[in-house]
Structure 1
Amino acid sequence: MLTGRCECGQVSFEVEEDSIRETVTACHCSQCRRLSGHVWASTHAPMNKVTFTCEEGLTWYQSSSWARRGFCRFCGSNLFYQENDEDGIGISAGCLDQTTDLRLAKHIFVADKGDYYALDDNLPHYEAGTAPKPG
């Protein structure tokens, strides 16, 4: 099991290690930048593989018509992203307790990225949220 929590510990969870994606996506959209203070970096797991061990501080914010975000109402930690009716959940990579084998895999919404930093790695960069469809 991997464990994670907010800064103050009023939201904590466990996630089955073999169910979590081994990749991290960096989102540069303006909403993620405002909510995280820079870039939102997250991994993903099926919701049924996540167990909340403390939910006292967990609050959900409907951030758009298609998704909500989970954060701690006490310390303000931005922890989760979930699209409506999705059976999975985006988990902030920074809130995981253990050192993991996670690796940054791609950047999304780079068209919206802040102008104060450069993306100079060799990872895929997508102007919008996903890779273009072939064809």
Structure 2
Amino acid sequence: MKTENFQLIQGSTVDYASSEQGFRCFCPVCGSLLFYRHQGADYLEITIGTLDDPDRVEPQVHLFADDQIKWFKLQDLHPRYHDNVMPHPSKRNTM
């Protein structure tokens, strides 16, 4: 999601510089990973399961596809990335 379209409407996050590429942003109360903020980029990667109404948002990509639970079958055609290296949203292709 473009950073300009995102607004945290309650509370704050605890940010951890997990790499030179960006920050993992956590809930300071329960420790849930909420989103990943890329250093110097104009977009966030939001953890969809932490949204109040996740049905309102359709995922655009799937990360760590090789590590998914074996019985869980994704049935969409969104790109799957097998690690945490993804191109900028404007440069992603579909499968």
TM-score under structure 2 normalisation? 0.63
Aligned with 1:108 (options 51, 56, 63): 63
State the alpha-carbon separation in 2 of the partners of residues 92 and 79 from structure 1.
5
Aligned residues: 85
Q: Which runs of 5+ in 1 are unaligned?
A: 1-44
- Please give the per-residue CA displacement for 1:50-91, whole angstroms capped at 9, x wherever unaligned: 233333x41100111212111112221210111110111122
2:14/2:28 contact within 8 Å kept: yes
Q: Give the gaps of 5 or more residues in structure 2.
A: none
Larger radius of gyration: 1
> What is the match of residue 25 of structure 1?
none
CA change 1:120–1:91 in 2 (3 A) is: closer
Secondary structure, counterpart of 1:81 in structure 2: strand
Q: Which of the two has greater strand per residue? A: 1
Q: Structure 1 length normalisation: TM-score?
A: 0.48
Q: Percent identity of the aligned residues?
A: 26
Distance 1:78 1:90 in 2: 11
Aligned to 1:68: 23
The structure 1 residue matched to 2:8, chosen from 37, 40, 52, is 52
| TM-aligned CA deviation for residue 127 of structure 1 | 3.2
Structure having greater relative contact order (Cα 8 Å, sep ≥ 6) = 1
SS for the counterpart of 2:49 is helix
Q: Which amino acid aligns with 2:20?
A: S
Match of 2:73 in 1: 120
- Residue identity opposite 2:46 in structure 1: I
How far apart are residue 105 of structure 1 and its match?
4.8
